[in-house]
Amino acid sequence: MKLLLGGKQLVAARNTAGFGAFVSLALALGGCGGGGGDVVSTPVPTPTPTATNTSLQNLKVSENFSNDAVLGKASYPTSGASGTVTPSTIAALTVSYNASTQTYTLSDSTHSQSFPTGGIAPAAGSSPVFTQKNGANTDTLTLFDSASNGSSATKYVQAGYWQRTTQGSSIIDGVIDAFTYGITTTDADVPRTGQAGYDLILNGVFAVPYQSPTALSTTGTMQVNFATGAISFTGGYGSSSFGGSATLASGSNSVTGTMSTNGGTSALTGRFYGPAADEFGASFYMNPNDGSSTIGTLIGYQDASILLPGQGLANLTAPTTFNSGYFIAPNAQSSNSSGAWLYSLLQYTPATSTYNFSATNLNNSSNTGLLGPLSDFSVGPGQLESTQSDARFSVYDVSQGTNTAKVLIYNTGAANPELQLTYASFADVATTQHDANGNPTITTHEYIPFGVGTPQNQLPRTGTATYSGYMYGSGITSGSGIQNLPQDPASVSGSVSMVFAPASASPISITFNPTAVDLTTGSAIALSTGVTVLGTINTNSASASFSATGNSPTGGVNTVYGTFYGPSADETAGIWSMRLENRTSPQTGFYISAAGAFAAKKN
């Protein structure tokens, strides 16, 4: 879904910084049939049941809707000079629908406006936009459901943007109420046991004095523990990522919390919608100390495929997309590793025991360079190589034309003699290119950790925990200032230990003890052990992820990205990129440039 900025009328009046009709959203109300009942005549008249609305997609009776709203204001000179952005706030908004006139009426502390809908019942995924003009004032109401983002249509909750623009001779004033509203879950019907996952759609507006407002639009997921009231959510990608936590009140359908983005932290209020908390809606606002302001909405619906804390990988029942990252290890073609964190590249389908690997980030379809010469592929029982597999790794072979891939999945469960994991694992994807004669030319290893992440709000905040595990990777022999040094491929493995002390200045401390084998000569390579990196928790992610770095004695920086997995940070896994000092070679500056994955379990 995309929000469009700058209405034609405003752009004509002010070329560079219009407030305009900037919530012309490609969004919609969905249509579905409604039902009725008969009135039974008896000697004693029975009162007709009070009619109620059962879906926003087909409103039958008048109703004042519960809502959560925020308010944003800005003024811009028509000359194009910098304007003024007022800090956004929570808004006391009334959202009413009159069934007989098919009219929405919205009121806040300073303004009221009615919007006749004319009986519009747009298909799911479109956007009804209603406009009222009175002299220099233009009021616009846009309502939408989650289908506007290509998701399933929400039935009980929708988001709305009520925009009021006043066109003056030298100033354009704009006010927006962003809100979610609908058919709420009664306090008594809010679940108080179990957990649920929700798909989320975020939309919003970011305003600064020196340029036109910017639209925000992305998707995410939310995890709710109804027994404890703990809520965590995450979404977006790269610089547009967001995450946060909230709490469901113990005796009412009320949610409050905070959300973090690259722009800062915002307050959030919301509630559940539908007969049994089927859907969710919330609004948020943010006022950093830089003159900017942000308002927005979150709406979503339950999705059984979303990973929930405490759910082991062996117990997945629905197709699942993992959000982690990857590192591409150095090889003879490239002496440097590359990769990205918090990308979605791997899906698992339990019904067929199939892993699907994507060459693009599933969050935003951007090309990552993953899988080398291969396009997307899947591995399952039909590609399993039982003679190559063992208790530690399941091995799969794939071919596409003259190119091949060998996929190693680190096995979870008690049968793995090395490390018995429940929530975390990783994949080693080795893609090989071949020449015209079918001879292998270059092999690239790509490492992807995955699992059931620990929600940020369930991460321990005190005490100390230790973890033990293993590292695997690959790379090439290299040297600093050494001429004609062969760049032989090498495999790397070893033990890993980690200390997590959440209250310390460096809460993450990981020590690697690697060894290596030159794959050309078959010779073992002794490496410097005790390679330590220090790091911090990424608070902008709903899952408890971290990053850590340390200087290599051969130059460069060793880098680690990881995530905690399980309901209470029971396990951890991630990816690493390092320059490992070679102690076998007598030549100073001889090292292995390598990257790989690691996994560890709490002691």
| 503 assigned to some structural domain | yes
Rounded-to-integer distance, Cα 122 and Cα 145, Å:
11
| 50 assigned to some structural domain | no
Asked if residue 250 and residue 194 are part of one domain, the reply reads: yes
| 205 assigned to some structural domain | yes
Helix (H, G, I), strand (E, B) or coil at 109: coil
Which pLDDT score, from 0 to 100, does residue 368 have? 52
Asked if residue 395 and residue 274 are part of one domain, the reply reads: no
Asked if residue 170 and residue 113 are part of one domain, the reply reads: yes
Decide which of 276, 302, 328 is a domain's last residue: 302
- What is the sign, positive or negative, of the torsion defined by CA atoms of 232, 291, 138, 106? positive
Mean pLDDT of the 574-584 span? 86
DSSP letter for 266, please: E
Residue range(s) defining the domain that contains residue 91: 3-31+59-302
Question: Per residue in 356-392, pLDDT tens?
Answer: 988 776 555 555 556 667 788 899 999 999 999 999 9
Question: Per residue in 330-360, pLDDT tens?
Answer: 776 665 666 555 566 788 999 999 999 887 7
Q: How many separate helices (H) and strands (E) can be counted in the chain?
A: 1, 36
| 54 assigned to some structural domain | no
Mean pLDDT of the 244-253 span? 93
Which pLDDT score, from 0 to 100, does residue 25 have? 32
| 430 assigned to some structural domain | yes
Asked if residue 228 and residue 104 are part of one domain, the reply reads: yes
Nearest alpha-carbon partner for 543 in 406, 429, 450: 450
Domain total in the chain? 2
pLDDT of 144 strictly over 90: no
Q: Which residue has tokens 């690997």? A: 357
Asked if residue 280 and residue 330 are part of one domain, the reply reads: no
Give the CA-trace dihedral at 330, 489, 326, 528, to 10 degrees. -90
Residues whose CB falls within 8 Å of the CB of residue 425, separated by 6 or more in sequence, listed in order: 313, 409, 410, 411, 412, 449, 450, 451, 573, 599
Q: What angle do CA 271, 272, 275 make, to 5 degrees?
A: 145
Question: Per residue in 170-223, pLDDT tens?
Answer: 989 999 999 999 999 999 999 999 999 999 999 899 888 888 788 888 888 899
| 549 assigned to some structural domain | yes
| 48 assigned to some structural domain | no
Asked if residue 384 and residue 262 are part of one domain, the reply reads: no
Decide which of 249, 279, 302 is a domain's last residue: 302
| 588 assigned to some structural domain | yes
Q: Which residue has tokens 């722009």? A: 263
Q: What stretches of 390-483 adopt beta strand conformation (E)?
A: 393-400, 403-410, 424-434, 440-451, 465-479
Asked if residue 332 and residue 283 are part of one domain, the reply reads: no
Q: What are residue 553's phi and psi, to 5 degrees?
A: -65, -15
Percentage of the chain exceeding pLDDT 90: 46
Asked if residue 277 and residue 204 are part of one domain, the reply reads: yes
> What phi-psi label fits residue 463: left (phi over 0), alpha (psi between -120 and 50 degrees) or beta?
left
Helix (H, G, I), strand (E, B) or coil at 468: strand
Of residues 118 and 247, the one with the higher pLDDT is 247
Rounded-to-integer distance, Cα 275 and Cα 284, Å:
24
pLDDT of 395 strictly over 50: yes
CATH of the domain at 110: 2.40.160.90
Residues 204-242 as b/e (b if ≥16 CB within 10 A, e otherwise) read bbbbbbeebbebbbbbbbbbbbbeeebbbbbbbbeeebb
Whether the Cβ atoms of residue 303 and residue 199 lie closer than 8 Å to each other: yes
Asked if residue 164 and residue 102 are part of one domain, the reply reads: yes
Asked if residue 447 and residue 505 are part of one domain, the reply reads: yes
Decide which of 253, 270, 302 is a domain's last residue: 302
Asked if residue 390 and residue 291 are part of one domain, the reply reads: no
Asked if residue 248 and residue 137 are part of one domain, the reply reads: yes
DSSP letter for 252, please: S
Q: Which residues pair with 272 in a beta bridge?
A: 280
- Mean pLDDT for the chain overall: 82
Rounded-to-integer distance, Cα 385 and Cα 193, Å:
43
